Each structure stands twice: as structure tokens, then as C-alpha cells.
């Protein structure tokens, strides 16, 4: 009888422990659900689960489809909804992420940029360039630093009270280290003040912002236009092509840069339109100075801000060259991520440029000849090489 009683006691103790563990797990799950709901993180959780479900480890050609040929500049304006995120692969193999954000309450852009970087086999980012502190541009800077090695940061100047997202991004940049040749190094931290440039022997990016004495005081109470105005206007130059990158630069930014004379004698090709096509960006005077033929607007479908606005779209539609040249007179095409998906611009070492839309292949274009990865058939028609056949949206490119 004593042995049976002892066995029953052990069984009862075991059941008690299981009950306690079950209660703890249930409480932990309830706490996690409450936390995720309060923080508005359900979109991030769903995105993460989707990324696991969609991951294809058995496809050996998956990475090859997104590699960039040697000597090619690639600028991808990623479709991240109402926000900005641009992935630049330079012709020498260096990598830049320019902004990484999306609208508050929307799905995080993390899986988009993370998927692109992983597909290209990238684990180190040479430049993290943040145009300004707004959430739809800075949302996942800290997460990028947490998951990838970053060698250098180019950041706006703003008070720490501007937002918690900005503070996290700033602290992540200041504490970032990377390993190179077995040596741990501190990431460089640079402020986007005045005129500065990034360059190597093959490419150059000239950036223009407010000089230190004129730089706006950006703080939590600053109006939206002040926060946007510190976005530098950058001219990315390679093989006699120029791509204009603007962040959320507005009339105030444009007026200041124009007055400095930085945009004199510019004959650019592609414009990433400022501030998602807002009414207070992309002035007629600015368009006259940069003289682009293609425009890209990064914005979310049915966004609450009405971007792109009719004012900005009309300015693009009505623009004609002040001094007609050999280029298209006005804009040959305007691309929008909300309608056309991710937009990819490639420039080869001969200056031939391709622009391709993920969702609107009828708008694809090749400018300046035959791209280095295309083949000319005996009939004289241009066919896309096998490299591009792996990406559906390049199939219809023509010279």
C-alpha cells in the first residue's frame, strides 16, 4: 500500500508541474499577444511567417537571377508601399541602401529589402544613406544594422527627441562595427551637411544639402516640411549617365540648392521624384535644371496623403526642355511603384541604360544602344540574354 501511495504522489506532483508550466505558457502567450497588439507589430509577424513559408532552398538558380553583371550600375526603387527604399549596386560591387521605411501602421518593408540582399548574396553594406528622419524612410535602419554589416552611415542632423525610431537608428549607427580581413572596425559616421561626394574610380555620387550655418533645426515639434527639407539632392553619375535621387526634398531644398548653383549645366537621365510626388516638391525650376527624361515615384496604393498629387503629375506631364537637345523633349515615361511595382534602372559600362518595371513590362525601355547583356540576332532584332530571362520583367526590353 505504501508503494502505491508513493506512486500516486509522484503522479500528482507531475500533473501539478505540467499544469504550472501550461499556465505559464498561456500567460506568456497572452502577454505576447497584448504586446504585439499594443506595438502594432502584427504586420511584421505575418511578414516573417510568410518569408519562412515562401523561402525556396531547393532553387539553385534563385541567386543567379538577381546578380548584377560586372561593370553595371543597378538602382532598384523597391516597392515598399508609402515610403522609400532604394538598393544601389555599384559597378565595382559596392552596395548602398538609401532609406528603408514605410508608413506607420503598414506592413514593414523589411522582407522586401532583406529578400533582395539575400538573393544577391550580400552580407555587408558599404553605405547606409538616410535622407531624413521620417518613419517612412528610417523605419528599419536599426534592423538593417542588426542583421547586416554596415561600413559607413550618411545621416541627417536632428535632435534625439525627433522620434524614437530616429533615436534607435542613430544609436545603431554609432555603435555599428564590421569585420574586415579578420579585424573588427568601427563604422564611419557622416553627416549630410553642405556639398559632399562619394566616389571611386568608376562612379561618383555628388550630394547637396544645407550648409552648416543654414541647416534647419530639426526636432520633434518641427513641421513636416522642415523635416523633409534636409533631404540631400544627389546626382549619381556613371558612364555619362546621371540619376537624380531626392529623398523627400521639397521646394525649400530645391530653392536653396538652385541658388548655390550646384545644378547648373546638368543633363540628367532619371529622376526619383521628391517626397512621393507631393504638391510641394519637384518645381518647374528644378525640372528645368536637371533635364531628365524618366521619372520614378515611390508611393503606396491608395495612400492617405494623395500621393502622387495632381500638381506634381501635371508638372511632369507639362515639362519640356528649355533648350531642346538630342534627348527626349520632356519625360518619355513616368513610373510609379504603386502601379508599376519595383522599378529597376541599369547602366552598363558603355552608358546604355535599361529601365524595367516589375508589374508593367510594356513600359520597359532601353536607351542608348544595346545593353551589354543583350544579344543581337541575325535578323537585327534584339533578344534578351539568358541572364535577364531569369527575371520576367526584363523579357520585353528592346533597344
Which residue range forms the structural domain that includes residue 15?
Answer: 2-39
Domain-embedded: residue 119: yes
The tally of domains found in the chain comes to: 2
Residue 307 shares a structural domain with residue 381: yes
Domain-embedded: residue 343: yes
Closest-CA residue to 307 (of 50, 102, 64): 102
For residue 201, what is its C-alpha cell?
574610380
Pairing of strands 195-199, 204-208: antiparallel
Residue 205 shares a structural domain with residue 348: yes
Domain-embedded: residue 33: yes
For residue 39, what is its C-alpha cell?
506595438
Residue 353 shares a structural domain with residue 273: yes
The CA distances from residue 54 to 50, 82, 393, in Å, are: 6, 24, 20
Residue 88 shares a structural domain with residue 195: yes
Establish how many alpha carbons lie within 13 A of residue 228's alpha carbon, considering only the half-sphere containing its beta carbon: 22
Is 359 buried (19+), middle (13-18) or exposed (0-12) by CB count in 10 A? middle
Residue 15 shares a structural domain with residue 127: no
Establish how many alpha carbons lie within 13 A of residue 117's alpha carbon, considering only the half-sphere containing its beta carbon: 24
- Give the pLDDT of residue 49: 56
**Separation of alpha carbons 62 and 65, rounded Å:** 6
Reported residue count of the chain is: 399
Domain-embedded: residue 206: yes
- Give the pLDDT of residue 5: 55
Per DSSP, 390 falls in state: T
Domain-embedded: residue 45: no
Residue 104 shares a structural domain with residue 171: yes
Domain-embedded: residue 320: yes
Residue 160 shares a structural domain with residue 86: yes
Q: What pTM, to 2 d.p., does this model score?
A: 0.79
For residue 291, what is its C-alpha cell?
533635364
Residues of the chain with pLDDT under 50: 1-2, 50-65, 375-399
- Helical (H) or strand (E) element with 312: helix 310-318
Residue 321 shares a structural domain with residue 388: yes
Residue 27 shares a structural domain with residue 71: no
Domain-embedded: residue 48: no
Residue 6 shares a structural domain with residue 108: no
Residue 389 shares a structural domain with residue 280: yes
Residue 34 shares a structural domain with residue 111: no
- Give the pLDDT of residue 247: 97
Domain-embedded: residue 259: yes
**Domain of 236: which CATH number?**
3.60.15.10
Q: What percent of the chain has pLDDT over 70?
A: 81
Amino acid at each position: 500500500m505504501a508503494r502505491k501511495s508513493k506512486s500516486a504522489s509522484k503522479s500528482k506532483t507531475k500533473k501539478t508541474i505540467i499544469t504550472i508550466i501550461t499556465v505559464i505558457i498561456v500567460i506568456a502567450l497572452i502577454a505576447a499577444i497584448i504586446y504585439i497588439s499594443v506595438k502594432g507589430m502584427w504586420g511584421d509577424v505575418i511578414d516573417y511567417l510568410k518569408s519562412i513559408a515562401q523561402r525556396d532552398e531547393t532553387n539553385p538558380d534563385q541567386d543567379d537571377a538577381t546578380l548584377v553583371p560586372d561593370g553595371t550600375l543597378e538602382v532598384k526603387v523597391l516597392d515598399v508601399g508609402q515610403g522609400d527604399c532604394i538598393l544601389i549596386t555599384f559597378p565595382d560591387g559596392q552596395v548602398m541602401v538609401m532609406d528603408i521605411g514605410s508608413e506607420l501602421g503598414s506592413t514593414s518593408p523589411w522582407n522586401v529589402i532583406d529578400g533582395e540582399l539575400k538573393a544577391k548574396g550580400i552580407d555587408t553594406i558599404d553605405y547606409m544613406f538616410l535622407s531624413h528622419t521620417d518613419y517612412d524612410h528610417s523605419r528599419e535602419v536599426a534592423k538593417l544594422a542588426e542583421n547586416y554589416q554596415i561600413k559607413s552611415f550618411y545621416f541627417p542632423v536632428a535632435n534625439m527627441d525627433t522620434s524614437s525610431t530616429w533615436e534607435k537608428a542613430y544609436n545603431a549607427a554609432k555603435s555599428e562595427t564590421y569585420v574586415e580581413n579578420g579585424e573588427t572596425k568601427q563604422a564611419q559616421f557622416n553627416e549630410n551637411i553642405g556639398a559632399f561626394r562619394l566616389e571611386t574610380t568608376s562612379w561618383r555620387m555628388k550630394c547637396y544639402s544645407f550648409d552648416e550655418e543654414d541647416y534647419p533645426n530639426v526636432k520633434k515639434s518641427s513641421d513636416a516640411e522642415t523635416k523633409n527639407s534636409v533631404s540631400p539632392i544627389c546626382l549619381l553619375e556613371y558612364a555619362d549617365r546621371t540619376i537624380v535621387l531626392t529623398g523627400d526634398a521639397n521646394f525649400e531644398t530645391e530653392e536653396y540648392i538652385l541658388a548655390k548653383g550646384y545644378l547648373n549645366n546638368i543633363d540628367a537621365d532619371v529622376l526619383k521624384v521628391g517626397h512621393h510626388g507631393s504638391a510641394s516638391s519637384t518645381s518647374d525650376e528644378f525640372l528645368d535644371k536637371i533635364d531628365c527624361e524618366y521619372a520614378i515615384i515611390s508611393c503606396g496604393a491608395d495612400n492617405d496623403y494623395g500621393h502622387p498629387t495632381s500638381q506634381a503629375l501635371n508638372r511632369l506631364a507639362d515639362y519640356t526642355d528649355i533648350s531642346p537637345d538630342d534627348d527626349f523633349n520632356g519625360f518619355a515615361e513616368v513610373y510609379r511603384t504603386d502601379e508599376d511595382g519595383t522599378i529597376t534602372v541599369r547602366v552598363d559600362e558603355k552608358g546604355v541604360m535599361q529601365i524595367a518595371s516589375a508589374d508593367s513590362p510594356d513600359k520597359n525601355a532601353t536607351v542608348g544602344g544595346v545593353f551589354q547583356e543583350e544579344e543581337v540576332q541575325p535578323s537585327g532584332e534584339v533578344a534578351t540574354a539568358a541572364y535577364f530571362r531569369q527575371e520576367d520583367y526584363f523579357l520585353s526590353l528592346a533597344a
